[in-house]
Chains A and B, each alone.
Chain A
């Protein structure tokens, strides 16, 4: 029941907040949202304590037959891949709600949507059923669309529409791939584990994988499907950017590993060199685009594109280390980009602009934003891979793992991390160094609670940077399991045993021969 609670408590909370009577002050909407986010985090404590990273099966499984004729079941489970991301989602939801000003317009609607968004992401990470994953993957689009379209900046209509069209397309492709897999393999279920043992002809597998990949590339995003992201980030408000960069993009990379590698391993191996090249292009493209940006948020957004590409590179390499590194890089990028967006948000809130040609000298200790500036320097250094922070060790693991397999792409991606220093340093130099101009002299003071999220995030960056094992240990075994080729994988008779329904009839006949041949 714990996993369901992670999804349904925010949903119920969202409904409750939406239904708050008008007589209740608006402030309560934020308080309630905070309380619910905290509750979810508290729920994660028993899950963390009970989670055993040595078990490769999905843990805390919940199985409820839903629509039998379709093979859709409400099957949730937590594995080493989803566990860090679920934690990240819970934590960043709290950060996002905390960062929201209490006097925001229509707070009831806003906080409901944020909670729904978080619930959707949690559901997608927990789903052990392809169709269920797809449902959550789609459901999460709707709150995000409203969050951008209502509380966004000047071009919010355009950005929200672009986001909607892109991600809807992404969903359709993912769905098509899933449906194709199920029907082509003749399975009668969308359940994840049995489907891994399909024996499709290579060309079918390849077609399905490519479809899935394009869908996920839009989400991650990978060049050339990325243009929705900078627009969405620029128009979205700070908390939405935090969730978008920190959690929702991870759905794409999570899908890459869980479904791309997990379901279509043979085809993935064939495509891998191409994927590595695509990742390299995306990394360099993101980095070079970031250099010329004038808007701080766009710099961070393009840097996101570059850093997410390393996950694709790692996933393409398909070694135990690279898979673990990919998961670690997701967590690392989630924390770093969240920190950067929070800080850009503070600058924007206090100065009213994010334009690097206008901002200047904000490090001024008396009238500027010295603490925000210092944290920003730490944040960009973490992103540029300064050792001692989480960005370094995650990227080092990625490159160390991929070097032996894709030497040239790895070296080029390393140039990309060098470029990270270039664009972020240019930004920091312009915005925080120099003399504070007179038109910026009246910057309001930043309250301690505005600093709190970034301080906590910074602390996490340093802690996980010094103790990477604390993140890596959760996912190492699971990530390793993904690259064991399906033929060598141990028979998963456990699937039927594990599900409370213990309905072997659900295991499709097409798959049974594979099982017995193992």
Chain B
């Protein structure tokens, strides 16, 4: 039985898909009598099924051998495409996280989306989301992962555009799709190239291929860069980071998924691609640079936001930036652990944020205050989530950092600086948001806020408990992916001896700063020009959007205008000029015939008739001799 469940683990994405398809009668209004709720229940049931199936398999995999299941998909000429799934503790663990969070989120959405008329459509899209994510978790083929990433892109587009009647939502959905698409197209280029160079597109083959590949350095670098681009878009890393912040226009339960597991999906693919990056030092440097820029920039952008969802989403980009750095340094296990702890912490924070938004009908943190006594479960969730995100004993991120700095990996000093910086800013920002939302005097919008109803409170509390338990994972983690990690160095360099204390100290500094900085609840802005400049710079995301408007978008728009102009006045212009001459010719004859179309048609018919006459009357030889003469001459 257990063996059967393990072998058929590929059914889990199918469950989600079935759930999504089953919502169609409700979302298109074929069934109206029941209201949209049954669609939600169907999806919850399917997700529960996935979760149970996955859990049994996850328990079993520790005693069963890891294995791969392969299907031959297409075999044409020299192209063989296989779909392959990987059944291992890591893939099933990822599956467990995804189905678990998805189950909690869908339960949560029962409360959050209760009054939405399009509940069925929402659950359909969540089913699609879950199907693509769980497929990604077990996929061992780059092609399949690419496909699933694209389906994620589509479902992100549809989920962000869920409330499509609002103008901001429409642009947010468009930007989310197109930004990710930029990354995906580059990734596709990489896949096309890899499929030409490599033996196959399976992750497990990539490692052995990379070991004895003879790719020239430039090609390897370009290939690496193309493969990085896809996850960069997916994980909202600089320079493709803006969509995540805009995507906050979508419904919050989808936001929970997006900020915890969907962005992680891109990084998960990146981790699996890591052997290819070892081929080219440049791509490793690029990974580290992108990660650093996003980690630092994202943290800075987060502290200037007044929208509670946007500040959290910038922090997501920043933490995934750390994952990029870890992959760039080949610290693959740490990358995975970072993803895991971040996913749980961020999911919890976003659930808490969702509760706040629902009860206050507001996302602006400067209009909130004093919620702690009114919403104890939400407050607890926020505190636990925040503590799990920063390096604070004894929660998830602390243990992950401890694993990173325990001497198994070389830690360059700059890494400590970045980690410390992100930790300080993150702590400061979380405290700032905490003070604005939960402490201080009650505001008009928070005065009568109740605690959330049970469909939301239950997952909230459950996830809080989970977050308290997850430190066991980084503590007990066996180094699955980097078996060849260097051994402990004796004596340990100072970065390892002092690494953890420095990080803890940075967290404390951040907390103190957060408590110390003055907060205005009114929209009053700093009077010093310098401070004001920086606030604007961070709040408007370093004006990246304006830069894009001026460069890429402007370029595409100009080129398309040029193409249309050229089409109209040059290509078609010449044709019409020639045509005009003909029509003038036709005009003179117009008085003899009834109209120009008929005239042309007549000409055609006469021409064809002449041709046939030539054919049938045996006069063809005239034409023949002309041609053969011509060719004989040529």
Instruction: Confirm or deny: B181 has a beta carbon within 8 angstroms of a beta carbon on chain A.
Output: yes
Taking residues whose C-beta sits less than 8 angstroms from the other chain, chain B's interface range is: 35 or more
Contact of B177 among A385, A411, A421, A476 (CB under 8 A): A421
**Minimum CB–CB distance for A132 against chain B, Å:** 13
**Minimum CB–CB distance for B194 against chain A, Å:** 10
Question: How far, in whole Å, are A69 and B616 apart by their CA atoms in the complex?
Answer: 9
Contact of A414 among B74, B189, B561 (CB under 8 A): B189
Please judge, given known A-B contacts A165-B579, A397-B79, A429-B174, whether A285 and B563 are in contact too, CB under 8 Å: yes
Q: Is the CB of A164 within 8 A of B604?
A: yes
**Minimum CB–CB distance for B517 against chain A, Å:** 40
Q: Is the CB of B77 within 8 A of A320?
A: yes
Identity of the chain B residue whose Cβ is nearest the Cβ of A320 in the assembled complex:
B77
Q: Is the CB of B76 within 8 A of A476?
A: yes
**Minimum CB–CB distance for A502 against chain B, Å:** 25
Contact of A421 among B178, B189, B562, B615 (CB under 8 A): B178
Instruction: Confirm or deny: A203 has a beta carbon within 8 angstroms of a beta carbon on chain B.
Output: yes
**Minimum CB–CB distance for A374 against chain B, Å:** 8
Instruction: Confirm or deny: A418 has a beta carbon within 8 angstroms of a beta carbon on chain B.
Output: yes
Q: Is the CB of A149 within 8 A of B165?
A: no
Question: How far, in whole Å, are A371 and B161 apart by their CA atoms in the complex?
Answer: 16
Q: Is the CB of B174 within 8 A of A468?
A: no
Contacts of B169 in A (CB 8 A): 433
Instruction: Confirm or deny: B417 has a beta carbon within 8 angstroms of a beta carbon on chain A.
Output: no
Instruction: Confirm or deny: B257 has a beta carbon within 8 angstroms of a beta carbon on chain A.
Output: no
Q: Is the CB of B77 within 8 A of A476?
A: yes
Instruction: Confirm or deny: B485 has a beta carbon within 8 angstroms of a beta carbon on chain A.
Output: no
Contacts of A224 in B (CB 8 A): 571
Q: Is the CB of A418 within 8 A of B185?
A: yes
Identity of the chain B residue whose Cβ is nearest the Cβ of A321 in the assembled complex:
B77
Q: Is the CB of A161 within 8 A of B185?
A: no
Binary A-proximity of B141-156 (CB < 8 A = 1, otherwise 0): 0000011101100100
Q: Is the CB of A410 within 8 A of B627?
A: no
**Minimum CB–CB distance for B367 against chain A, Å:** 26
Q: Is the CB of B560 within 8 A of A289?
A: yes
Question: How far, in whole Å, are A472 and B151 apart by their CA atoms in the complex?
Answer: 24
8 Å CB interface, B177-224 against A: 177-178, 181-182, 185, 188-189, 192-193, 195-196
Contact of A399 among B27, B192, B608, B615 (CB under 8 A): B192
**Minimum CB–CB distance for A234 against chain B, Å:** 13
8 Å CB interface, B588-634 against A: 596-597, 600-601, 604, 608, 615-616, 618, 620, 623-624, 627-628, 631, 634
Question: How far, in whole Å, are A468 and B157 apart by their CA atoms in the complex?
Answer: 26
Contacts of B189 in A (CB 8 A): 411, 414
Q: Is the CB of B147 within 8 A of A387?
A: yes
Contacts of A223 in B (CB 8 A): 571
| Contacts between the two chains (Cβ within 8 Å), count | 182
**Minimum CB–CB distance for A222 against chain B, Å:** 12
Q: Is the CB of B167 within 8 A of A434?
A: yes
8 Å CB interface, B546-585 against A: 556-557, 559-564, 567, 571-572, 575, 579, 582
Identity of the chain A residue whose Cβ is nearest the Cβ of B583 in the assembled complex:
A161
Contact of B564 among A292, A320, A435 (CB under 8 A): A292
Instruction: Confirm or deny: A417 has a beta carbon within 8 angstroms of a beta carbon on chain B.
Output: yes
Please judge, given known A-B contacts A138-B608, A410-B192, whether A433 and B563 are in contact too, CB under 8 Å: no
Instruction: Confirm or deny: A67 has a beta carbon within 8 angstroms of a beta carbon on chain B.
Output: yes
**Minimum CB–CB distance for A318 against chain B, Å:** 12
**Minimum CB–CB distance for B625 against chain A, Å:** 9
Residue with the greatest number of chain B CB neighbours at <10 A, chosen from A183, A319, A320, A381: A183
Q: Is the CB of B615 within 8 A of A162?
A: no
8 Å CB interface, A360-394 against B: 361, 363-366, 370-371, 374, 377, 381, 384-388, 392-393
24 residue pairs from A and B, CB less than 8 Å apart: A162-B575, A162-B579, A288-B559, A288-B562, A292-B557, A320-B77, A324-B77, A325-B76, A365-B117, A365-B118, A366-B29, A381-B154, A384-B181, A386-B154, A387-B148, A392-B150, A399-B188, A401-B79, A403-B192, A404-B196, A421-B178, A433-B165, A472-B74, A472-B76
Q: Could you list which residues of chain A lie within 8 angstroms of chain B, going by C-beta atoms?
A: 67, 69-70, 72, 138, 142, 145, 149, 157, 160-162, 164-165, 168, 179-180, 183-184, 203-204, 207, 223-224, 226-227, 285, 288-293, 319-321, 324-325, 361, 363-366, 370-371, 374, 377, 381, 384-388, 392-393, 396-397, 399-401, 403-404, 410-411, 414-415, 417-419, 421-422, 425-426, 429, 432-436, 468-469, 472, 476, 480
Task: A386-B154, A399-B192, A421-B177 are known; give 19 further A-B pairs, CB within 8 A.
Answer: A162-B579, A165-B579, A203-B634, A204-B631, A223-B571, A288-B560, A288-B563, A288-B564, A292-B564, A319-B77, A370-B28, A387-B146, A397-B79, A410-B192, A414-B192, A425-B174, A432-B164, A469-B75, A472-B74
